[in-house]
Amino acid sequence: MKVEDALEIVSQTDPGMVRSHNEDSVAQEPACGLVVLADGMGGYNAGEVASGIAVSVVATEISHRLQEASPVEYDEETGEELGVSLLRSNIQKANASIYHASQSQPQYAGMGTTIVSGLFYDNRLVAGHVGDSRMYRLRGETLEIVTRDHSLLQEQIDSGMISLEDARLSKNKNLVTRAVGIDAEVVPEIHVYDVQLGDIYLLCSDGLNDMVEDGDIEATLYAMQGNLPLAAEQLIQMANDNGGRDNVSVILVKVKGDFAVPRGWLTELLNWFKK
């Protein structure tokens, strides 16, 4: 089954109840199984510009490359599968584009963005992120966080300085330790996961998880897994009902079928020898 037939993808974004404009950006490329979400930061409209650049570069470059190549091909430059190297290199390309714009245009000085992205192929997910926009996975009745926030608060939790309970009340929630476009280079965190039939993946900006407890997100996704558009709408409504202090964006991806990449024995043998 083609990846676009095996996945159901829904996205929604909202400015929230406080902000006058939306600095989040989302994109989906169903034909190659790609989803991207970014949460911009910076004065005036600079955050919106940064997130827009990030999403556009990653979505455009990867979808274009995968029109002529398979994501399971071996990348001779990196020694990785092409799908993995494409996600990493294009997040870095987005970083360079944003950094250049911020350095050359005074109105964009200091702008940056988080990013969380997923590339689905061959019954797997390549997840890449920078910053504190998250990816969750609902498998069965259990919601898990796939990504780990690049934030001061997460570092404090990991070191034992602060408990999870106290973290919910912390004023350091939005202090990221890594972002796209702030420095000349960035190191995206990339992981590969096997997917299962029925999995639901949620990508979101912190406007959702800062406003809605993980338990409530879990209950909503489980109850509405048969209606993803309604689930996305409900999640955003919950964030707004709880104050909506930030822009809130969600992308939902449900695995509905098998999307293994067909391979001949010769392709498998060649890839094995290249490794």
User: When comparing pLDDT for 271 and 49, which is higher?
Assistant: 49
Cα distance between residue 246 and residue 252, in whole Å? 19
Q: What distance in Å separates the CA atoms of residue 186 and residue 87, rounded to the nearest whole number?
A: 13
- pLDDT tens track for 221-247: 999 999 999 999 999 999 999 999 999
pLDDT reported for residue 45: 79
Q: What kind of architecture, by CATH, is found in domain 3-261?
A: 4-Layer Sandwich (3.60)
Tens-place pLDDT, residues 167-208 = 776 666 678 999 999 999 999 999 999 999 999 999 999 999
Q: How far apart are CA 204 and CA 12, in angstroms?
A: 10
Torsion of CA 74, 79, 81, 85, to 10 degrees: -120
pLDDT digits (tens, 9 = 90+) for 98-151: 999 999 999 999 999 999 999 999 999 999 999 999 999 999 999 999 999 998
Q: Distance (Å, rounded) from C-alpha 133 to C-alpha 96?
A: 20
| 146-160 average pLDDT score | 88
Dist. CA 253–CA 229, nearest whole Å: 11
